[in-house]
């Protein structure tokens, strides 16, 4: 058994397999997952686990060069946007897409990790970077 890090074998495998510019999504309980995209469902009940809890753990293990969110987060969930701005350099956050375009972008991700989050627009796409060069 692993002593440290992510214990979920599906998430651990996805992160290990990511290459530069590959993407995964962290989603609230309501975001639709496109057909053909792997869904790793962590939701136990509304609010558990939270978007923040999951993202904090993923960010410890993943080199992240870009965070894509829907621009509706600015008005619909400013607390989550503030958290993202604290966690990541503001230049890393791309909030230029509307929610419909954001959902379309999830067709390209390697996996959607579904949380129990029950607040609007608590979704992001994480783009993998590299820790060299």
CA-closest candidate to residue 103, choices 121, 77, 88, 118: 121
Q: Is residue 52 part of a domain?
A: yes
**How far lies 35's CA from each of 45, 76, 94, 104, in Å?**
23, 27, 25, 12
Q: Would you state the pLDDT for residue 63?
A: 96
Q: Is residue 63 part of a domain?
A: yes
Q: Which pTM value belongs to this model?
A: 0.96
pLDDT, one tens digit per residue, over 57-99 is: 999 999 999 999 999 999 999 999 999 999 998 779 999 999 9
Q: Is residue 114 part of a domain?
A: yes
Q: Is residue 44 part of a domain?
A: yes
Q: Would you state the pLDDT for residue 1?
A: 75
Cα of 95 vs its chain's centroid, Å: 14
Q: Is residue 4 part of a domain?
A: no
Count of domains forming the chain: 1
Binding residues for substrate: 28, 99, 121-123
Q: Is residue 2 part of a domain?
A: no
Average the pLDDT over 47-56 and give the result: 98
Coil, helix or strand at residue 104: helix
Q: Is residue 19 part of a domain?
A: yes
Does the pLDDT value for residue 133 go beyond 70? no
Catalytic residues: 20
Residue span of the structural domain in which 49 resides? 9-128
What CATH number corresponds to the domain at position 116? 3.40.1650.10
Q: Is residue 16 part of a domain?
A: yes
Binding residues: 28, 99, 121-123
């Amino acid at each position: 058994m692993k002593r440290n890090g992510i214990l979920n074998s599906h998430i651990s495998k996805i992160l290990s397999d990511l290459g530069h510019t590959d993407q995964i999504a962290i989603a609230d309980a309501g975001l639709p997952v496109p057909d053909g995209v792997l869904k790793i469902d962590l939701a136990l009940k509304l609010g558990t686990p939270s978007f923040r809890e999951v993202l904090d753990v993923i960010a410890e293990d993943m080199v992240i060069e870009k965070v894509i969110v829907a621009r509706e987060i600015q008005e619909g969930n400013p607390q989550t946007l503030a958290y993202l701005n604290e966690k990541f350099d503001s230049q890393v956050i791309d909030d230029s897409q509307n929610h419909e375009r954001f959902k379309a972008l999830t067709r390209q991700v390697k996996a959607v990790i579904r949380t129990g989050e029950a607040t609007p627009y608590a979704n992001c796409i994480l783009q993998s970077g590299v820790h060299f060069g």
